[in-house]
Amino acid sequence: MSLLEDIIFSDNPSIWHDFGGTSPGYAGITWQMMIWSIITGLLVFVWMAYNLIMFKHKEGDPEHNDGLKAGFFPHERGDPKIEITWTVAPLILVIWLTYISLAPLDYLWDVPDEDETDLVVNVVAGGKGDGNYWDFSYEDGYVVPSNFNKCDSSVNCLEIPHGSIVRFDITAEHVLHAFYIVEIGVKQDAVPGLVTLAWIDTSDVSPGEYNIYCTEYCGSSHSQMLAKLYITVAE
């Protein structure tokens, strides 16, 4: 399917995957929004340049500002089509951006049930005297593959299998945090007393090492609240 056909006709355009790095979700939406923001910016620039040229001071125009009323075009240049254009055009753009966001957002919000996943990981955003940390634990009964050897402890390190649907059950011990895997496009709040959910299909992600950040300011050690995610082909 061509780029134009993707944008117009597809429920979940492949461009979101192709341009969105390793994730068909948030990263794809980011690229789409950036593309349309650039297009919109160019259109606004052209429109401003057009108005600067067309409505610059001309011979016969009033010489004093008092001769013009705020909010009104000079009578000789009045044109309701301009008002209609700058009202309808942004409306169409907002409707379009909403439409292209529906499919990937629906994909992300449709968190699989536990029996639909290959692995559930419990994520706890914790804190102690020397700083904040991420603590990970596999669901009860999960048999860790023999070649999973990247993590020495469950703190600030997680290894999950490639080719699996993995759900994250996320909470926090004391203050708000946000669980963010930037390269994959997963971001979810960690709230004390509440379990929030996120998920990834690691079939869509290349095996390797990824960074996990906290993107909710959580105190003086916020910038050091880092963890590693390893996606490994299980043996």
pLDDT of 7 over the 90 cut:
no
Q: How many CB atoms lie within 10 A of CB 135?
A: 17
The Cα 42–Cα 155 span in angstroms is 47
pLDDT of 106 over the 90 cut:
no
The domains of the chain, with CATH numbers, are: 3-109 (no CATH), 114-232 (2.60.40.420)
Which DSSP letter does residue 182 get?
T
Inter-CA distances, 154 with 33, 98, 123, 134, 170, Å: 36, 40, 10, 8, 15
Q: What is the mean pLDDT of residues 79-93?
A: 81
pTM: 0.65
Are 205 and 231 a contacting pair, CB within 8 Å? yes
Q: What is the mean pLDDT of residues 204-217?
A: 90
State whether residue 227 is helix, strand or coil.
Answer: strand
Q: What tens digit of pLDDT does each residue of 168-189 get?
A: 999 998 889 999 998 887 889 9
Query: Which pLDDT score, from 0 to 100, does residue 3 have?
Result: 44
Tokens 């020495």, residue?
A: 152
H-helix or E-strand containing 87?
helix 80-109
Contacts of 77 (CB under 8 A, 6+ apart): 55
The Cα 153–Cα 218 span in angstroms is 23
Q: Which of 84-93, 190-199, 212-221 has the highest mean pLDDT?
A: 190-199
Query: Which pLDDT score, from 0 to 100, does residue 32 have?
Result: 67
In Å, how far from its chain's centre is CA 3? 21
Strands 119-128 and 131-138 come out as antiparallel
Are 135 and 150 a contacting pair, CB within 8 Å? no
pLDDT of 120 over the 90 cut:
yes
Query: Which pLDDT score, from 0 to 100, does residue 80 have?
Result: 74
Query: Which pLDDT score, from 0 to 100, does residue 8 have?
Result: 47
Tokens found for residue 136: 């990970």
Q: What tens digit of pLDDT does each residue of 130-173 get?
A: 568 899 999 878 888 889 999 988 889 999 999 999 999 999 98
pLDDT of 21 over the 60 cut:
no
The Cα 194–Cα 200 span in angstroms is 20
Angle of CA points 14, 15, 17, to nearest 5°:
70
The terminus-to-terminus CA distance of the chain in angstroms comes to: 36
